[in-house]
């Protein structure tokens, strides 16, 4: 076989890319090698399903996300496949050509691709042939049909005198069927089937959610979700900002991932410009990101405790989390939005006289964390309450492409920090925590144990942090495209950035970890008791602010309210109490 050539005529260096291209065989039209961890392959658009089957089935790749990009001939659909075992990301491109802008749906074979195709249908107007469920996902109910915010020429309408963005002037007349194609129409209930609405006031980074559970007796038989309540349009906004402004925007994607999103974005941009941050900057990034993981996991432990009726755990976990918030404020100037990362390095140095303070803060966490972990591991009630509940099997975890503690709790040993080395993670000693069971208990254990790993990482970083500059000089970003990912507390956050050599990105795709973790509820919730649903929903940690939601249960026949959210929490707490007596 002749040597594999890339677009420019150079031989492909990476054995991983060669292997993937060989496996894809006749599907491949073009190959482009960017660097030893990134490759791009263009395939025949008519055979995109076959490419997905080969990559998922044979190459064991994980579909990180899909992004769409309007080009002259249509819409380029970019399937980003992560080969975690090789630390490689290969992007498969296929063109959905004008005028139909249609391509075969991968979502009909692979659940992980379901939502993202719906999203691209909303935002770009691409059509996916054979997609099982092409309802509106992200845009609001009153958004005009046929207006796609990520298409060229889209302009945010002006604000009128009342402060409202006027939509009447927009192209695309409202059509009569639009409402039917959107969400909200409840499926016809069987007799005895109850519809329970959870939401919509339930905050979750880009996606506030509105769950509908279909129940027979106490068992959940089906569920559905409607997003958009929190859809702000960050990807479109990002293309109107400069390279250096975007980190401030993306840290506001999600408040608890405000070190992770900028880092993933910066990794993408640095891969376009072949920029390398100095070692000291990588250490400083690692320290802030791990402190964020600590505070995020402790926050989750507290909220999970609240859901189960252990309000003491909630108060304790949040009390012991305060030293982390204080130290973050000392290092970065803010408790939450750190504004610390920039392309090529970090903005603020940490003077060495602060090291003992950081050490003291993380050291003060060890004892309470041990206590909390033991409270989880040894409590017979928690065992009874969480073991075997909401099981996400390894097969389902793979098919839905889940990441982070949700995947590791199902026995999938994937972690961006180890698999795609960056920061200081390659130079310190730490472990990827996994648990095989896949139930809520396993996910709780993973999070508790990860706190100790985070402490280990921070302490070693403080021991080894080198002296030197904190940022590299960056003059401009050349044209090109790049992918960056980072292991946020909830899982992999993935950014795709494209540059035309100008002042800011021309396309910026953000995929937050909950975006892949939430749809897996369909696999883990169905067949469970209603009383368990609130903790199963919480088990992927979808940025819960738990107490404030509009949740009500309606009787499917009479439409009379039966339970509200407080009742559900009360039912969940009562079940714990009952079990406590039995155990």
Partner 1 sequence: MGWQTWGLKKSPWVYHVNVGACNNCDIEVLELLTPRYDVERLGIVLVGSPRHADALLVTGICTRQAEPRLRTVYEQTAKPCVVFCIGVCACTGGIFRHAYGFARPVDEVIREADPNAIIAYVPGCPPKPEAMIAGAAAALATL
Residues in contact with partner 1 by the rule CB under 8 A = 140-143, 149, 154, 156, 159, 162-165, 200-205, 208, 228-234, 236-237, 240, 248-249, 252-256, 258, 299, 302, 314-315, 318-319, 322, 335-337, 543, 545, 547-550, 564-566
Of residues 138 and 556, the one with the C-beta less far from partner 1: 138
Residue number with CB closer to partner 1 (236 or 349): 236
3 state SS of 233: coil
Cα(290)–Cα(287) distance, integer angstroms: 5
Nearest distance from C-beta of residue 258 to partner 1, angstroms: 7
Taking the least distance from each CB to partner 1, the nearer of 58 and 160 is 160
**DSSP, residue by residue, 497-543:** EEE-SSSS-SEEEEE-HHHHHGGGHHHHHTTSBHHHHHHHHHHT---
Q: How far apart are CA 471 and CA 280, in angstroms?
A: 9
Minimum Å gap between C-beta 249 and partner 1 is 6
Cα 255 to Cα 232: distance, rounded to the nearest angstrom: 14
Residue 445 token pair: 């254990």
For residues 22 and 547, which CB has a smaller minimum distance to partner 1 in the complex? 547
CB of 311 to partner 1, least distance (A): 10
Query: Please, which residue, 135 or 337, has the CB nearer to partner 1?
Result: 337
Name which of 100 and 566 has its Cβ closer to partner 1. 566
To partner 1, the closest distance from the beta carbon of 558 in angstroms equals: 21
Alpha-carbon gap, residue 211 to 229, rounded angstroms: 12
What is each CA distance from 329 to 292, 338, 381, in whole angstroms? Answer: 11, 8, 37
SS3 sequence of 131-151: CCCCCCCCCCCCCCCCCCCCC
The CB-of-329 to partner 1 minimum distance in angstroms stands at 9
Q: Do 493 and 264 form a contact (C-beta atoms < 8 A)?
A: yes
Structure tokens at 319: 């009390």
In 10 A of CB 190, how many CB atoms? 10
Give the residue with the Cβ less far from partner 1, 159 or 583: 159
CB of residue 259 to partner 1, shortest distance in Å? 12
Beta strands in 61-109 (DSSP E): 62-71, 74-83, 88-97, 102-104
Q: How far is the CB of 411 from partner 1 (least distance, A)?
A: 29
Residue with Cβ nearer partner 1 (35 or 311)? 311
Query: Residues with Cβ < 8 Å from 134, sequence gap 6 or more?
Result: 117, 118, 121, 128, 181
State the minimum distance, in angstroms, from the CB of residue 246 to partner 1.
11
């Amino acid at each position: 076989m002749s040597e594999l050539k890339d677009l420019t005529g150079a031989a492909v260096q990476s054995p991983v890319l060669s292997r993937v291209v060989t496996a894809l065989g006749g599907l491949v039209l073009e190959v482009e090698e960017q660097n030893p961890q990134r490759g791009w392959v263009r395939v025949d658009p008519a055979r995109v399903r076959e490419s997905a089957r080969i990559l998922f089935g044979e190459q064991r790749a994980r579909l990180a996300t899909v992004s769409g990009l309007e080009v002259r001939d249509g819409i380029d659909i970019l399937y980003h496949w992560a080969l975690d075992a090789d630390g490689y990301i290969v992007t498969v491109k296929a063109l959905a050509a004008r005028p139909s802008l249609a391509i075969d749906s991968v979502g009909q074979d692979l659940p992980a691709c379901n939502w993202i195709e719906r999203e691209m249908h909303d935002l770009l107007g691409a059509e996916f042939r054979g997609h099982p469920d092409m309802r509106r996902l992200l845009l609001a109910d009153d958004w005009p049909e046929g207006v796609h915010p990520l298409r060229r020429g889209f302009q945010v309408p002006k604000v009128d005198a009342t402060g409202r963005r006027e939509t009447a002037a927009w192209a695309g007349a409202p059509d009569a069927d639009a409402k039917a194609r959107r969400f909200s129409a409840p499926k016809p209930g069987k007799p005895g089937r109850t519809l329970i609405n959870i939401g919509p006031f339930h905050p979750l980074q880009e996606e506030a959610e509105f769950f509908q559970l279909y129940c027979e007796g106490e068992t959940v038989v089906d569920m559905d979700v409607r997003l958009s309540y929190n859809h702000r349009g960050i990807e479109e906004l990002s293309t109107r900002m400069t390279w250096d402004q975007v980190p401030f925007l993306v840290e506001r994607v999600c408040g608890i991932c405000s070190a992770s999103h900028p880092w993933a974005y910066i990794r993408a941009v640095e891969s376009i410009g072949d920029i390398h941050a100095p070692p000291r900057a990588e250490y400083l990034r690692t320290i802030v990101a791990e402190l964020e993981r600590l505070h995020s996991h402790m926050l989750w432990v507290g909220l999970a405790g609240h859901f189960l009726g252990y309000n003491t755990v909630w108060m304790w976990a949040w009390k012991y989390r305060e030293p982390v918030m204080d130290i973050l404020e000392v290092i970065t100037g803010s408790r939450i939005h750190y504004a610390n990362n920039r392309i090529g390095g970090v903005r603020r140095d940490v003077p060495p006289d602060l090291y003992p303070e950081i050490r003291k803060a993380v050291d003060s966490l060890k004892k309470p964390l041990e206590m909390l972990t033991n409270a989880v591991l040894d409590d017979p009630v928690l065992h009874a309450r969480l073991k075997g509940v909401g099981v996400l099997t390894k097969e389902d975890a793979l098919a839905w492409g889940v990441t982070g503690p949700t995947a590791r709790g199902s026995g999938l040993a994937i972690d961006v920090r180890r698999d795609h080395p960056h920061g200081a993670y390659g130079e310190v000693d730490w472990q990827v925590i996994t648990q095989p069971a896949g139930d809520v208990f396993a996910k709780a254990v993973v999070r508790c144990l990860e706190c100790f790993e985070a402490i280990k990482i921070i302490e070693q970083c403080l021991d080894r942090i080198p002296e030197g500059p904190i940022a590299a000089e960056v003059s401009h970003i050349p044209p090109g495209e790049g992918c960056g990912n980072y292991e946020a507390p909830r899982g992999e956050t993935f950014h795709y950035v494209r540059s035309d050599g100008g002042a800011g990105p021309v396309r910026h795709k953000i995929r937050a970890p909950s975006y892949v973790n939430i749809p897996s509820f369909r696999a883990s919730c169905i067949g469970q008791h209603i009383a368990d649903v609130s903790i199963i929903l919480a088990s992927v940690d979808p940025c819960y602010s738990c107490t404030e939601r509009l949740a009500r249960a309606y009787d499917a026949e009479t439409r009379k309210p039966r339970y509200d959210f407080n009742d559900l929490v009360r039912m969940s707490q009562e079940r714990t109490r009952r079990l406590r007596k039995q155990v």
